[in-house]
Amino acid sequence: MGKPADSVTLDDDVQEELRKLAERSGRPLGVLANAALRDYIKYENQVGSSIERGLADLEAGRTRTTDEVLAFLQEQRRARSHE
């Protein structure tokens, strides 16, 4: 089991919904809170990584104009319609 959190203050509505979910699911409130935070952290890390990759592409000149992207998408649609 983990160590106690330094301090976390939940909004009243979040606390209440988490409590209800814990009662409904029969799982401890801490287990639910940890699962939710893990999902949030994973999501935020994925978003941050995507932004960093995009910035690296931009700096390296790996970009396309809107017209190029639209033409590529049109080609993809045509290729799928012929499958």
Tell me the C-alpha distance between 38 and 2, whole Å. 13
Tell me the C-alpha distance between 56 and 49, whole Å. 10
pLDDT, one tens digit per residue, over 12-60 is 999 999 999 999 999 999 999 999 999 999 999 999 999 999 999 999 9
- Mean pLDDT on 3-7: 76
pTM check: above 0.75: no
- pLDDT surpassing 90 at residue 3: no
